[in-house]
């Protein structure tokens, strides 16, 4: 069997490596020629050491990066589906382009699998017509289905190998072909959906549920402040009920999935009202964190604030839709800059940002000592293990002020309070 993976981003490259390291001949294709050139030089450009080594093993064995798509028994589409703010939904340009690319090399008997996160109906309503524009008939000549990836950055390889899979095919033969493709590679269970649209819906439902649950926890945090209640203690007590499992509050939600995927369910019916409200609650949390800081120090004028942690969650390197980064921007920082350092560099500003995990070269990060030196306040934006291990006495010796805002529950509040800090938490 031969496989061609279309799209060598984080998931596509990991997926291609999974099959290649299992002994399958895999061609990896991406429209970004720079991606292919780096891979041909042996540079995966990923931030997870275990995954990086795994990809390098694949490149040395059965994974061949290519500037052109190749005919193959199986085509797996792992292209981006960015959020289209204007239309409040998914931009399916890359999926359509990938479909046309696959159609050019498609043969009778081939299998096509879409893994990209898409609105319900995309596989059958958009991809299938593109693939069947020639003489091949979907379901008769070509197997087609949808199976979403459900991995978490920072634990990609483990979750690819162990997470359950959902498969939705256009017919029973397609389901059988796709199941036989993934079954040898995962210790998780393969669940069969009624059709591709159901499988697409399930992926979005999973992420929308987490977004709503986080919004509920954040709402409780806002209410608890008004009552003078420690919300985390209250949630812990509430969770003693056998049918209650409330999540922890935080400064918002980030990453590529939770802030984006609920929008892909919008169908114009008005039925997404709850999802829309949840997204609004979570998107306003960075502003609330800034207000917490303002309440603690009265005025931000002439104050220096260190934001520690600008990845979207603890112990990951991904900064997409990061609440910590949004907090830094709300504070008026000039150090969060998408320009190259030579085109502006450091200007005088009120905010410094530090993150031991972030790998986005566009961000002008500074070492921890530089970030907190002379700072009037610190805000923790991500719960990295490195921050949990900080010595409050050492940080106190470098700071000018004693204000700490910890919306991610990463530090020991009692220890920091003993060192004279005014610690504000969610």
* Closest residue by Cα to residue 352 from 385, 288, 303: 303
Structure tokens at 369: 């000592």
Q: What percent of the chain has pLDDT over 90?
A: 82
Task: Mark which of 162, 196, 230 sits at the end of a domain.
Answer: 196
- Predicted confidence at residue 176, as pLDDT, reads 98
Q: What average pLDDT does the segment 124-150 reach?
A: 94
- Predicted confidence at residue 2, as pLDDT, reads 97
* Closest residue by Cα to residue 74 from 105, 102, 99, 111: 111
* Closest residue by Cα to residue 184 from 14, 22, 359: 22
How many residues are given for the chain?
A: 426
308 and 403 share one domain: yes
Distance separating alpha carbons of residues 228 and 212, to the nearest angstrom: 24
> Which domain does 332 fall in, by range?
285-425
189 and 267 share one domain: no
161 and 262 share one domain: no
140 and 176 share one domain: yes
**pLDDT above 50 for 115:** yes
Domains of the chain: total: 3
Give 159's strand partners: none
- Predicted confidence at residue 47, as pLDDT, reads 80
- Predicted confidence at residue 60, as pLDDT, reads 95
Structure tokens at 345: 């560099």
**pLDDT above 60 for 105:** yes
Structure tokens at 90: 């998914």
Q: Report the sign of the C-alpha dihedral through residues 260, 262, 265, 270, in that order.
A: negative
Residue that has been written with the tokens 């007590």 in this structure: 237
Name the average pLDDT for the chain: 92
Using the CB atoms, write b or e for 125-159: b if 16+ within 10 Å: ebbbebbbeeebebeebbbbbbbbbbbebbbbbeb
E strand or H helix that includes residue 236: helix 231-238
157 and 97 share one domain: yes
**pLDDT above 90 for 87:** no
- Predicted confidence at residue 269, as pLDDT, reads 82
Q: What share of the chain is helix, strand, coil (3-state, %, to 5)?
A: 40, 15, 45
50 and 187 share one domain: yes
Give the range among 32-41, 149-158, 342-351, 395-404 with minimum mean pLDDT.
Answer: 342-351
Q: Domain holding 145: CATH number?
A: 3.40.50.720
Residue that has been written with the tokens 């290649």 in this structure: 20
324 and 416 share one domain: yes
The alpha-helical segments, DSSP class H, found in 298-412 are: 323-330, 368-372, 385-388, 392-398
176 and 33 share one domain: yes
Please state whether beta strands 165-169 and 143-146 pair in parallel, antiparallel, or not at all (unpaired).
Answer: antiparallel
Q: What average pLDDT does the segment 23-49 reach?
A: 93
Task: Mark which of 267, 283, 299 sits at the end of a domain.
Answer: 283
Q: Domain holding 208: CATH number?
A: 1.10.1040.10
Q: Report the sign of the C-alpha dihedral through residues 113, 116, 122, 126, in that order.
A: negative
18 and 98 share one domain: yes
Q: Are 81 and 10 in contact (CB under 8 A)?
A: no
Q: Count CA within 13 A, CB hemisphere, residue 119.
A: 18
Q: What average pLDDT does the segment 53-57 reach?
A: 95
Q: Are 325 and 336 in contact (CB under 8 A)?
A: yes
Q: What percent of the chain has pLDDT over 70?
A: 96
**pLDDT above 90 for 162:** yes
**pLDDT above 70 for 337:** no
Distance separating alpha carbons of residues 126 and 76, to the nearest angstrom: 16
Task: Mark which of 283, 307, 336 sits at the end of a domain.
Answer: 283
Q: Are 330 and 286 in contact (CB under 8 A)?
A: yes
143 and 265 share one domain: no
Catalytically active residues are 203, 257
Structure tokens at 129: 């017509």
Top-confidence residue, 361 or 352: 352
Distance separating alpha carbons of residues 422 and 405, to the nearest angstrom: 8
Q: How confident is the model at residue 343 (pLDDT cuts 50, 70, 90)?
A: very low
Residue that has been written with the tokens 């112990």 in this structure: 315
Assessment of whether the complete model's pTM goes beyond 0.85: yes
Q: How confident is the model at residue 250 (pLDDT cuts 50, 70, 90)?
A: very high
292 and 270 share one domain: no
373 and 356 share one domain: yes
């Amino acid at each position: 069997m031969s496989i061609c993976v279309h799209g060598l981003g984080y998931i596509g490259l990991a997926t291609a490596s999974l099959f290649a390291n299992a002994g399958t001949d895999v061609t990896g294709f991406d429209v970004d020629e720079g991606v292919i050139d780096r891979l041909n030089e042996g540079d995966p450009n990923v931030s997870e050491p275990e995954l990086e080594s795994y990809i390098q093993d694949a490149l040395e064995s059965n994974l061949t990066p290519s500037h052109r798509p190749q005919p193959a028994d199986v085509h797996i589409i792992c292209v981006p589906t960015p959020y289209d703010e204007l239309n409040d939904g998914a931009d399916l340009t890359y999926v359509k382009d990938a479909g046309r690319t696959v159609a050019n090399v498609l043969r009778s008997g081939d299998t096509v699998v879409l893994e990209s996160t898409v609105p319900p109906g995309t596989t059958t309503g958009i991809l299938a017509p593109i693939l069947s524009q020639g003489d091949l008939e979907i379901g008769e000549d070509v197997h087609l289905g949808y199976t979403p990836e459900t991995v978490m950055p920072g634990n990609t390889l483990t979750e690819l190998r162990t997470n359950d899979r959902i498969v939705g095919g256009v017919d029973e033969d397609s389901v059988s072909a796709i199941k036989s493709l993934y079954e040898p590679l995962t210790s998780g269970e393969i669940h069969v959906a009624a059709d591709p649209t159901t499988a697409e819906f399930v992926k979005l439902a999973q992420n929308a549920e987490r977004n709503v649950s986080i919004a509920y926890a954040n709402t409780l945090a806002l209410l608890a402040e008004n009552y003078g209640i420690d919300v985390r203690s209250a949630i812990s007590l509430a969770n003693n009920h056998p049918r209650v499992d409330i999540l922890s509050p935080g400064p918002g939600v980030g990453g590529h999935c939770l802030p984006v995927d609920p929008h892909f369910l919008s169908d114009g019916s008005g039925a997404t009202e709850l999802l829309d409200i949840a997204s609004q609650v979570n998107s306003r949390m960075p502003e609330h964190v800034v207000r917490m800081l303002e309440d603690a120090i009265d005025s931000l004028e002439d104050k220096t604030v260190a934001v520690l942690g600008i990845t979207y969650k603890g112990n990951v390197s991904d900064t997409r839709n990061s609440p910590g980064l949004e907090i830094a921007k709300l504070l008026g920082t000039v150090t969060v800059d998408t320009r190259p350092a030579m085109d502006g560099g450091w200007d005088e500003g009120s905010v410094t940002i530090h993150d031991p995990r972030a790998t986005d070269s566009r961000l002008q990060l500074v070492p921890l000592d530089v970030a907190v030196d002379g700072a009037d306040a610190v805000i923790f934006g991500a719960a990295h293990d490195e921050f949990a291990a900080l010595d409050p006495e050492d940080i106190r010796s470098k700071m000018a002020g004693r204000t700490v805002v910890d919306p991610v529950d990463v530090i020991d509040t009692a220890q920091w309070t003993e060192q004279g800090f005014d610690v504000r938490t969610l």
